[in-house]
Chains A and B, each alone.
Chain A
Amino acid sequence: MAASYFDVDGTLVTTNLVHPTLFYLQNQPTPLHSFAKLGRALIKAPWMALAEMKDRRLFNEMLFSSFEGMSEDRLYLLAEETFEKVMKPKLYRGARDLVQTSLDKGHEVVLVSGALDFLMALLKDHLGATGVIANKLEIHDRYATGKLLRPVVAGPEKARLIREHARAGGHDLDECFAYSDSYSDVPMLSVVGHPAAVNPDRKLTHLAEAYHWPIIHLAA
């Protein structure tokens, strides 16, 4: 059986990692807490922008440090609301079809995302996907420490995780599919036999055209 690995942000949904994070920050126990969290995130913003350009893993770590001090209860309590209000309305119209076609053809469908695992689990259920590879927050005494558990799902690490997943599931990587919108996911696209660019950025478009990878445009 083949497996299809889907990047999420920009590929299946129009949002990115920042949108759900902001929703969490805006919905702290009190407005004062929210204000403080947002303020700290704002101060870190220029560094995150730099990190985004240099190293996607570093960006993820800086972004998710905003979750420091949030209780595990709150993280899970807000997950459903975040998914319903932030992510679900931003699903590309064709995303469900694309996932469904893969399922119909007997593929295992795995979402591979730098987003947090409890949000991805909701998206997985919504789309009918079969697995998730996502980032996990470190929890200490029922509170988030603001750190991510290793391995951090980003960039080249996605490729290694896909390899491991395929090996564990008995999938031949040459028969597997991968979908992404971003040039930063070229390592992930390159490990499978059937890479495809979905709503690709400029650099990925050029690469996909050069290598004749399928280019799919999903309407928002």
Chain B
Amino acid sequence: MSHPSVVTIDSRSAPRTLFSGDQLVDVDLPTGTRVIYPKPPLAPLKDVNAAIRYAINHPYNSEPLYAKLRPGMKVTIAIDDISLPLPPMKRPDVRELVLTIVLDLLSDHGVDDVEMIIATSVHRRMTGPEVRHVVGDKIFNAYWPKKLYNHDGEDAANMSYIGSTELGEEVELNKRAVDSDLVIYVNLNFVPMDGGHKSVAVGLCGYRSLRSHHNPKVMRACHSYMDPGSSALATSVERMGRLTNQKLNVFTIETTINNRMFDRPLSFLAKNEDELTSTEKSSLRALRFTLSKLPQPARQAIFQRVPSPYGVTGVFAGETEAAHVHTLKRAYEQYLVPVTGQADILITGIPFISPYNVNSFLNPLLVQVMANGYLFNLYKGVPMVKKGGTMIILHPCTDQFDNEHHAPYIEFVHRLLPETRDAMELHKRFEAKFASNPAYIEMYRSGHAYHPAHPFFMWYWGEAGRQHLGRMIVVGADNEYIPKLLGWETARTMDEALRMAKTTAPARPEILALHCPPTLMAEVSAHPSRLSTPPDSLRG
């Protein structure tokens, strides 16, 4: 018997409502299609502050935080950036709660030399209001911008090389953190690929370190980004993180949240359409109508500017790996939906947001990341779709970019992708020179642009999905050029897309559909008779 979050479509089923960017689209799915819904949100902790205090006083595989403190020591607190969670959570953000308690503790123990770094790695710098949202007014007013600031991976004078792993992966980190007596990392774990060694070893590094694992070779060897045990990316980061923890005194504080992405007026978006009340059905119709009449920026604002009422479900502290085991367990508890049998065709809407477009537009390269990178990888076990299968997505694929945040993406998409889609060739021919473009680097350092290496990483991020999938079909694209550039076929309707997909599928294809957001993960076990083992290149 299937899990309650897996709904099989029958002849009486209502159409499913899927995201297509910032629009909602009703699609009639064939009978027999299994639709995977997110699990209901886990109950949040009743007293988050008490949980934080307990976690730092009873850490895993580490002495309590207070026992590590001594007057006059140099402490750096690194904090996850705004790419987590999505959309940003309602205030107070759990990072504010953790920081408030930690800063009080440091003050009580005579630790005055404290600096806080937003661990952006090569992401864009967060703006003042974004940082304020995360850390709260009190901390922001007291520390920003001298003692609370964004990491700068291109500030050569403030980066420190600490060594290489046994496989030659170079670890270069923020100098302030390296020179500190204690580094406290305050994490917000949104999906299972977050946290752990990724926090310090990626969050505080620069391009020199990232190129060790953010490359097509490593990405092709990732079985699922969301399953660290079978991700070559996670394994590489782990090696670099272990080296980091040998050189730095790191105390990790990780937090998990539930998947309550939509507040009450929109909470029906996470529900099975067959179970909507008449009020909810009316609300859905009204929302769809409103969205269809509004201009794009207003549509985006409806979803993106309204913070999500996420509840904190866990706080785990201590030595990085020991704490992260518990974080992962809690994250899986929220997200994993057991699914038996892979599909021939996987259907999903692409929503309005990704980790890389908070407060900006989801441009075509990020649509690719969401499809081939994130959504394809929302599995544990075997992929949701069989090797060579088809993925159908819904998105307009509008040829639009944020001129500031995604400045280097524009050149990548319009100058480099027309030359080649081959990730290896892009890596070898173009990456090094593009990543050293001084104009883009200055936009990253002094503006709010992503680092020029980032669009390459975004393309590589889709590499495992591209290697696995046979076909990608996009429904509802408003142009032909972008899908073609990405190597995708187009269809005007879901029916047309399914007809196209069936031409290369078995006679009675297995169809799976993802109903997200909110976030979910499929724990897929292949049907014994239809096992599709990942190719050698995909084994971690």
Q: Real complex partners, A and B?
A: yes
List residues of A (54-84) whose CB comes within 8 Å of B's CBs.
none
Flag B277-315 by CB within 8 Å of A: 1 or 0 each.
000000000000000000000000000000000000000
- A94-B446, A214-B440 are known contacts; what are 8 more A-B pairs with Cβ within 8 Å? A97-B442, A97-B446, A101-B441, A177-B439, A194-B439, A215-B404, A216-B443, A217-B447
Cα A196 to Cα B442 with chains together (Å): 11
| Measured CA separation A97–B442 after assembly (Å) | 8
Is the CB of B407 closer than 8 A to any CB of chain A? yes
A191 within 8 Å of B (CB atoms): no
Tell me whether chain B's interface is mostly helix, strand or loop, or mixed: helix
Docked pose: A194 CA to B443 CA in angstroms: 14
Query: Which residues of chain A are near B403, meaning CB under 8 Å?
Result: 209, 212, 215
Residue A183 CB within 8 A of the other chain: no
Interface size class of A (residues with CB under 8 A): 20 to 34
Known contacts A209-B403, A212-B407, A212-B410: A102-B438 contact under CB 8 Å: yes
| Mask: chain A, 167-178; 1 = CB below 8 Å from B; 0 = not | 000000000010
CB distance from A177 to the nearest CB of B (A): 6
Expressed in whole angstroms, the Cα–Cα distance for A169 and B156 within the complex equals: 28
Contacts of A150 in B (CB 8 A): none
A161 interface residue (CB < 8 Å to B): no
In-complex Cβ contact of B442 among A98, A107, A209, A212 (8 A): A98
Instruction: Say yes or no for A219: interface residue by CB 8 A criterion.
Output: yes
Query: CB distance A216 to B436 under 8 Å?
Result: no
Kindly provide the distance from the CB of A20 to the nearest chain B CB, expressed in whole angstroms. Answer: 26
* A104 in contact (CB, < 8 A): yes
Residues of B within 8 A of A (CB): 154, 156, 401, 403-404, 407-408, 410-411, 414, 436-443, 445-447, 449
Closest A residue by C-beta to B404: A215
Q: B411, A212: Cβ atoms under 8 Å? A: yes
Q: Check if B438 sits within 8 Å of A98, measured CB to CB.
A: yes
19 A–B contacts from the bound complex (CB under 8 Å): A94-B442, A94-B445, A97-B442, A97-B446, A105-B438, A107-B438, A177-B437, A194-B439, A212-B410, A214-B407, A214-B408, A214-B439, A214-B443, A214-B449, A215-B403, A215-B443, A216-B439, A218-B442, A219-B446
Contact with B along A79-102 (1 / 0, CB 8 A): 000000000000000100110011
Q: What number of A-B contacts does a CB cutoff of 8 Å give? A: 54
In the complex, A184→B221 CA distance in Å? 51
Chain A residues within an 8 Å CB radius of B449: 214
Closest CB in chain B relative to A215 CB, distance in Å:
7
Judged by a CB distance under 8 angstroms, whether A11 is at the interface is no
A residues whose Cβ falls under 8 Å from a Cβ of B: 4, 94, 97-98, 101-102, 104-105, 107, 177, 179, 194, 196, 209, 212, 214-219
User: How far does the Cβ of B537 sit from chain A's closest Cβ, in whole Å?
Assistant: 34
Main SS at interface, chain A: mixed
- Chain B nearest CB, measured from A13 CB (Å): 16
Please name all residues of chain B whose beta carbon is closer than 8 Å to the beta carbon of A107 when the two chains form the complex. Answer: 438
* Bound-complex Cα distance A105 to B452 (A): 14
| Complex CA–CA separation, A215 to B410 (angstroms) | 13
User: Contacts A209-B403, A212-B401, A212-B403: A105 and B436 contacting too (C-beta < 8 A)?
Assistant: yes
Select one of A102, A105, A194, A218 contacting B446, CB under 8 A: A218
A101-B442 in contact (CB<8A): yes
Q: For residue B436, which residues in chain A have a CB less than 8 angstroms away from its CB? A: 105
CA of A104 to CA of B438, assembled, Å: 9
Given A212-B407, A212-B411, A101 contacting B446 (CB threshold 8 A): no
Q: B438's contact among A4, A217, A219, by CB below 8 Å, is which?
A: A4
A177 and B401 within 8 A (CB): no
Q: How far is the CA of A217 from the CA of B414 in the complex (A)?
A: 24
Pairwise interchain contact A101-B438, C-beta atoms closer than 8 A: yes
Contact B442 A215 (CB under 8 A): no
Q: Across the interface, which residues of B come within 8 angstroms of A101, CB to CB?
A: 154, 438, 441-442
Which chain B residue has the least Cβ–Cβ distance from A105? Answer: B436
* A102 / chain B contacts, CB cutoff of 8 Å: 438
Using Cβ atoms and an 8 Å threshold, which residues of chain A touch B439?
177, 179, 194, 196, 214, 216
Most A C-beta atoms less than 10 A away, residue of B403, B439, B440: B439
User: A97, B410: Cβ atoms under 8 Å?
Assistant: no
In the docked arrangement, what's the CA distance between A177 and B440, Å? 11
The answer on a CB contact under 8 Å between A104 and B156 is yes
Beta-carbon nearest neighbor of B407 in chain A = A214
Separation of A101 and B440 alpha carbons in the complex (Å): 10
Q: How distant is A1 from chain B, measured CB to nearest CB, in Å?
A: 12
Nearest Cβ on chain B to A193's Cβ, whole angstroms: 10
Q: Give the residue among A98, A104, A209, A212 with the most B Cβ atoms within 10 A.
A: A212
Rounded to whole angstroms, the CA-CA distance of A97 and B414 in the bound complex is: 28
Chain A residue at smallest Cβ distance from B448:
A217
Which B residues are in CB contact (< 8 Å) with A218?
A: 442, 446
Give A98 to B403 CA distance when docked, in angstroms.
19
In the complex, how many angstroms separate the beta carbon of A34 from the nearest chain B beta carbon?
A: 39
Cα A97 to Cα B401 in complex, Å, equals: 27
A101→B439 CA distance, assembly (Å) = 9
- Nearest 7 pairs of A and B residues by beta carbon: A196-B439, A214-B439, A101-B438, A212-B410, A102-B438, A105-B436, A94-B446
In the assembled complex, the Cα of A215 lies from the Cα of B440 at a distance in Å of 9
Q: How far, in whole Å, are A217 and B442 apart by their CA atoms in the complex?
A: 9
Q: Which residue of A lies closest to B414 (CB)?
A: A212
**In the complex, how many angstroms separate the beta carbon of B428 from the nearest chain A beta carbon?**
18
Cα distance A177–B439 in the bound complex, in angstroms: 8
A194 CA / B438 CA spacing, docked (Å) = 10
How near does chain B come to A74, taking the closest CB pair, in angstroms? 38
A179 to chain B, nearest CB (A): 7
Most chain A beta-carbon contacts within 10 A, residue among B408, B410, B411, B442: B442
Taking the closest CB of chain A, its distance from the CB of B269, in whole angstroms, is: 34
Q: Which residue of B lies closest to A98 (CB)?
A: B442
Q: Please give me the residue from chain B that is nearest to A195 by CB atom.
A: B439
Q: How far is the CA of A94 from the CA of B155 in the complex (A)?
A: 12
Most buried by B among A4, A101, A194, A214: A214
CA distance A31 to B369 in the complex (A): 69
By a CB distance below 8 angstroms, the chain A residues around B154 are 101
Residues of A within 8 A of B408 (CB): 214
A94 to B446, CA, bound (A): 8
